[in-house]
Amino acid sequence: QEFSNEITQWLVNQNSKMIVVACNTASSLALDHIKLKFNLPIIGVIEPGVHSAIAVTKNNRIGVLGTQATIRSDAYGSELQSINGEIDVVSQACPLFVPLAEEGWVSGDVPTSVARTYLEPILMSNVDTVILGCTHYPLLKPILSHVLGSEVCLVDSGEATATAVDSVLDEHYLGAEEKAGEIQCFVTDSPDSFEALAGRFVKANISAITHIDIS
């Protein structure tokens, strides 16, 4: 929570007009705190993902994949059932998915074997919708779809959040007049490491990467 607060304060100091807590773990543990502290639109990734999942499920059985911290917080389960108490939630922590995604191990026998192990409880529970409750997990989407089967809908919380951001910007009349913008990245770790990793996630040219110290 303290780290999320420091990051948010730094972004506010840069005159940000809106902040997206684009991390499921931070959204589950720190979002409420920073929304109370800072006076600008702030959204996380959990609520948009939940609304998307509820919109597509047909049998009200929804699986949630996430980090151990996200699953332990029960943020997704609580949000889902607060909207529809008839929904059955099956949550599964998948701690090895993040290092697999970051190392580029997103195909082949190793990630497939890991996915089969993690997804067994999901497969046994007859869910028809699964929320990818970590922004790393879409890189593993082909394997997850293969293991779960085409009849299970995968909800990308990141995509749902992007749609929600557009709506919030319109609601607050904060939309940009120009169509194209510039991507600027500020990191507290190695810029070189970030650049190498970001290329796996973002289909855009990322060249403006600046190291900062927020502590």
Q: Which residues are catalytic?
A: 23, 134
Q: Where are the beta strands (DSSP E) in 96-194?
A: 129-133, 153-156, 184-187
Q: Specify whether the CB–CB gap between 63 and 126 falls below 8 A.
A: no
DSSP 127: -
Cα dist from 198 to 136, 151, 188, whole Å:
11, 31, 14
Measured between its terminal Cα atoms, the distance across the chain in Å is: 14
| Identity of the amino acid at 99 | P
Residues comprising the chain, all counted: 215
State the number of CA atoms in the 13 A half-sphere of 33 facing the CB.
14
Task: Tell me the C-alpha distance between 200 and 103, whole Å.
Answer: 10
**Of 26, 20, 49, 66, nearest in space to 157 by CA:** 49
